[in-house]
Every structure is written in C-alpha cells, then in structure tokens.
C-alpha cells in the first residue's frame, strides 16, 4: 500500500492558526473541535525531516478523555506532539504508532474505555473511541503547510484506502461527490462519506479586536493568541500600543480614534473587546462598533456604566435597543476575578464559550 495525498493545486496563504469542524466515521453530524496551532506544530515537525506518525481520534461514543478530532504526532524516539487524552489510551496508541513507523503500514484502532482497560491508569470513562494511525502523513507535507496557513475553509480527510485527501464541500455538511485532484496531478472523484474514515474542515481563526492597549489589553492579547484568536489592538497611544507590551503575532493599529474606527472588519468572524482608558473613549468606540456585525461584543465596566451608556445612546439615537442588547458589560464570566490576569481569564473563558456556540449554530 502506498497512500498518497489527493490535493488541489497549492494556494498562496498567510501564516495563521486554525480550528476545525469534524465529521468522523461514527458521527451523525459535524462537531466542532479546536486545534491549538496543531498544524503549525505539524509543519514544524516536517522541517525536522524525521519520520513521525500522525494519529487521530475519528469517532467517539459515550464518555472519553478527548473528542473526535484530537490529534498527536508520535516520533521514533518517544517524542509526542499534541495529545489523544493521555493515560492508557495514549500509551496504547503510542505503542501501535511505533509499530506502524517500523512497518510503514497505516492502521485503524478501536478501544473500549471500560474498567478492564483503564483501571490501573485511572481511565474508566466508559465510552469507546475509534481512530487512525498514519505513518505516511509526512508525504502530505503540502497539505499540512496549507492548513497551518489557512485563510479560507479547507476540507480534507482520510479515505478507506488510507490516502489523505483534500476535498471540496460545505463546512459542516455531508460531503457530496466532488472533483478532487490527486497529488500527482490526475483527476479523481471524491466519494460520499461511506468511503471515508474521517473528514475535517479547517477554517481560519476568529478575529479579536481589542480597543485599548492598557493593562487589561496587555493581559488579554497573549492569552487570546494562545487560544487561536487573531488579535488586533487599536489605540491612539504609540507608547503603549507597541510590541514591547504585545506579542509579535498581535497586529497593532495605532492612530487617531476617528481614523481607527473606520477600519473594516475582516471577512472572518470577529469578536470585539472595549477596554480603553476611560468611559469617554469606551463610548466613542462603542458608538461605532455597536453597528458592526461582531459575533460577540464585550466591554469592561460595571453594570451601572452599561446602564448609563445605554440610556444615553438611546436618548441620542446612537443605537437601537436590540443592538445594545448584544453588548456584554461587564465582559467575562463571573469568577470573582481580581487583577488583570484573572480578568483576562474571565474574558477569554466567555469568548471561548461564545465561539463554540457560534460554530455550533453555523
């Protein structure tokens, strides 16, 4: 068996992280799974020019330590990148991945996580998982690099012959028969889902616009980047809105507010967070951002502040009641947070929750 990558022609893509919609063999619908820069890590593994096996969970029934779409890379020297959930499940797949690296043969696996299988390692979830072990994954290097730099939805999967295929179709919908181009340039038809072990749609990260560059913004931005949001910080203070205070991957928009507020939202879904240096600037930003189609918009402040701004906006016809109903102020989940870093955790916990809800609806 010599599985090869079935793929479309290469695309010019920018660097970025991604998250994915999963459709495993045992799934009845597309679920949402978030991969924290996994494809960037996979691309980095390719640069090491060492063999590795890509393993993934393609289906879950009942309780399990990970969801469908969880992935890990196993190297001959024992190095692991990613996780399938740890414990005896990961140890067993690791042993099988080592064998696959020796033989070069891909394989499926199915494990029941019951009392007999996992008691010694404390893993008695009671569910079952199915998955794939793909020692030939490095052959699909072009695809992995595309996924690491995704700027538009890309759908790929593993067919029943273990070939890794780039396919076409609507994200989150059953895969129709569609034309696909193989890695060697020949034409092939992508079959319906019965011919696939696994399918996944990888889409660009959600954008996060942060108005303000003070202490809270400085705490939120690096955490948001770790959680695979594409962060842009807006402020009129270059002494704060610079890469001494923000990570290199954070985009900075610096200038007068009347110019910053003309910037158009990206095509990808976007979140907004208003954390400027005072109520006046918060109100200025809110007067514009309340009209933009954010997936979710939050503002740091008290409920009293929110009530006063709402009354003023309605009185001056700046925004309608239904628009203001979409604003979360105070932003963040209620965790009794104290200090900027705890506030950042509270805010990002809420944004993760809203992102998952948005993806489920879509």
Query: Of 24-38, 167-181, 315-329, which has the strongest mean pLDDT?
Result: 315-329
Tens-digit pLDDT profile for residues 152-190: 888 899 999 999 988 864 433 333 333 333 332 222 333
The answer to whether residues 49 and 137 belong to one domain is yes
The answer to whether residues 187 and 40 belong to one domain is yes
* Predicted local distance difference test score (pLDDT) of residue 334: 93
* Predicted local distance difference test score (pLDDT) of residue 193: 58
The answer to whether residues 114 and 239 belong to one domain is no
The answer to whether residues 15 and 120 belong to one domain is yes
Give the number of other Cβ atoms within 10 Å of residue 320's Cβ: 12
Chain position carrying tokens 């020692």: 135
Question: What residues have CB less than 8 Å from 88, skipping those under 6 apart?
Answer: 117, 118, 120, 121, 123
Q: How confident is the model at residue 275 (pLDDT cuts 50, 70, 90)?
A: very high
Rounded CA gap, 16 and 81, in Å? 18
Residue of 199, 198, 137 lying closest to 170 (CA atoms): 199
The answer to whether residues 160 and 216 belong to one domain is no
The answer to whether residues 291 and 326 belong to one domain is yes
pTM of the model: 0.70
The answer to whether residues 194 and 64 belong to one domain is yes
pLDDT at 236 over 90: yes
* Predicted local distance difference test score (pLDDT) of residue 109: 93
Q: Contact, 21 vs 208, CB < 8 A?
A: no
3 state DSSP class of 242: coil
pLDDT at 268 over 80: yes
Domain final residue, candidates 147, 181, 203: 203
Q: Contact, 287 vs 310, CB < 8 A?
A: no
The answer to whether residues 78 and 146 belong to one domain is yes
The answer to whether residues 188 and 214 belong to one domain is no
Number of domains making up the chain: 2
pLDDT at 17 over 50: no
The answer to whether residues 72 and 12 belong to one domain is yes
Domain that holds residue 250: 207-361
The rounded mean pLDDT for the chain is 81
Phi, then psi, of 237 in degrees rounded to 5: -115, 95
Rounded CA gap, 174 and 196, in Å? 11
Domain final residue, candidates 170, 203, 236: 203
The answer to whether residues 194 and 274 belong to one domain is no
Please give the share of the chain, as a percent, with pLDDT higher than 90. Answer: 60
The answer to whether residues 131 and 182 belong to one domain is yes
Domain final residue, candidates 203, 223, 256: 203
Mean pLDDT in residue range 105-127: 65
């Amino acid at each position: 068996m010599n599985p090869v990558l079935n793929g479309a022609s290469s695309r010019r893509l920018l660097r970025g992280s991604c998250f994915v919609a999963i459709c495993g063999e045992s799934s009845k619908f597309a679920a949402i799974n978030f991969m924290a820069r996994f494809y960037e890590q996979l691309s980095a593994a390719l640069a090491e020019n060492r063999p590795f096996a890509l393993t993934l969970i393609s289906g879950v029934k009942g309780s399990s330590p990970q969801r469908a779409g969880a992935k890990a890379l196993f190297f001959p020297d024992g190095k692991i990148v990613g996780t399938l959930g740890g414990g005896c499940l990961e140890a067993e797949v690791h042993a099988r991945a080592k064998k696959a690296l020796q033989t070069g043969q891909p394989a499926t696996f199915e494990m029941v996580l019951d009392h007999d299988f996992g008691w010694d390692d404390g893993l008695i979830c009671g569910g079952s998982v199915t998955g794939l072990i793909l020692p030939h994954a490095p052959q699909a290097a072009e695809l992995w690099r595309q996924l690491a730099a995704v700027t538009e939805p890309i759908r790929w999967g593993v067919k029943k012959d273990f070939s890794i295929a780039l396919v076409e179709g609507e994200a989150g919908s059953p895969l129709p028969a569609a034309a696909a181009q193989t890695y060697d340039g020949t034409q092939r038809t992508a079959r319906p889902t019965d011919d696939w072990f696994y399918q996944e749609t990888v889409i660009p990260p959600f954008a996060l616009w942060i108005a303000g560059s003070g202490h809270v913004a400085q705490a939120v931005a690096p955490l948001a980047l770790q959680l695979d949001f594409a962060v842009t910080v807006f402020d009129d203070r270059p002494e704060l809105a610079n890469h001494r205070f923000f990570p290199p991957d954070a985009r900075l928009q610096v200038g007068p507010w009347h110019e910053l507020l003309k910037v158009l939202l990206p095509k990808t879904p976007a979140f907004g967070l208003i954390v400027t240096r005072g109520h006046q600037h918060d109100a200025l930003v809110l007067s514009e951002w309340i009209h933009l189609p954010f997936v979710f918009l939050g503002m740091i402040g008290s409920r009293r502040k929110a009530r006063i701004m709402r009354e003023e906006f309605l009185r001056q016809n700046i925004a309608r009641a239904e628009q203001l109903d979409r604003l979360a102020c105070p932003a963040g989940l209620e965790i009794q947070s104290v200090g900027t870093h705890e506030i950042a955790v509270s805010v990002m916990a809420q944004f993760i929750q809203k992102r998952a809800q948005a993806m489920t609806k879509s």
